[in-house]
């Protein structure tokens, strides 16, 4: 099946996830292998493999909703004041493992720069 990634299975409720937000277009759920006290993934339900497949005009509303959800999650998890990190890994050298677009929201500890 096209775009049959683990996140596609979560969208279709074929496998479980700790879902924090769900709308017609966007889902947010906890990362199963958290790299920070707060580690949430925000994904479109639409199967866009990676950030470089985004068309700014076509996906503007979808991306806007993903950022609205990220902002809401940051508030709900209590990291909005302290700060946090939003990350898109893109392709092999970007460290992308799941080819269904996702934004990482990492918070609850001091982030370092440069990233690994
Ligand atoms: P990336 O390396 O940017 O593609 O990130 C993929 C992320 O998905 C990793 O942080 C994984 O821990 C996470 N992940 C993989 N499978 C699951 C799952 N079933 N539920 C939640 N998160 C997952």
Q: What distance in Å separates the CA atoms of residue 54 and residue 34, rounded to the nearest whole number? A: 26
Distance CA 15, CA 4 (A): 12
- Residue whose Cα lies nearest atom 20 of ligand 1: it is 32
Residue 116: predicted pLDDT = 86
Q: What is the pLDDT of residue 76?
A: 98
Task: Provide residues with CB under 6 Å of ligand 1.
Answer: 6, 17, 31-33, 41, 89, 95-98
Ordered by where they begin, the domains of the chain are 6-107 (3.30.428.10)
**4, 30, 36, 38: CA torsion to nearest 10:** 150
Ligand 1 atom at minimal distance to the Cα of residue 29: 21
pLDDT at 1: 56
Cα(32) to ligand 1 centroid in Å equals 6
- pLDDT score at 2: 58
Give me the phi and psi of 41, to 5 degrees please. Answer: -110, 130
Out of 33, 90, 93, give the residue to mutate to test ligand 1, the one with the largest number of ligand atoms within 8 Å of its CB.
Answer: 33
Q: Check residue 3 and give its pLDDT.
A: 64
Instruction: Please give the chain's pLDDT, 116 residues, in tens.
Output: 556 899 999 999 999 999 999 999 999 999 999 999 999 999 999 999 999 999 999 999 999 999 999 999 999 999 999 999 999 999 999 999 999 999 999 999 999 999 98
Q: Which residues make Cβ contacts (< 8 Å) with residue 18, sequence separation at least 6?
A: 29, 30
């Amino acid at each position: 099946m096209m775009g049959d990634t683990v996140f596609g299975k979560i969208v279709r409720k074929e496998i479980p996830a700790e879902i924090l937000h769900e709308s017609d277009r966007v889902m947010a759920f906890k990362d199963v292998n958290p790299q920070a006290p707060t580690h949430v993934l925000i994904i479109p339900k639409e199967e866009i493999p990676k950030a470089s497949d985004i068309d700014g005009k076509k996906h503007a509303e979808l991306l806007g909703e993903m950022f609205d959800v990220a902002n809401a999650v940051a508030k709900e998890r209590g990291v909005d004041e302290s700060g946090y990190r939003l990350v898109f890994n893109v392709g092999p050298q970007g460290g992308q493992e799941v080819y269904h677009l996702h934004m990482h929201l990492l918070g609850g500890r001091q982030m370092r720069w440069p990233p690994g």
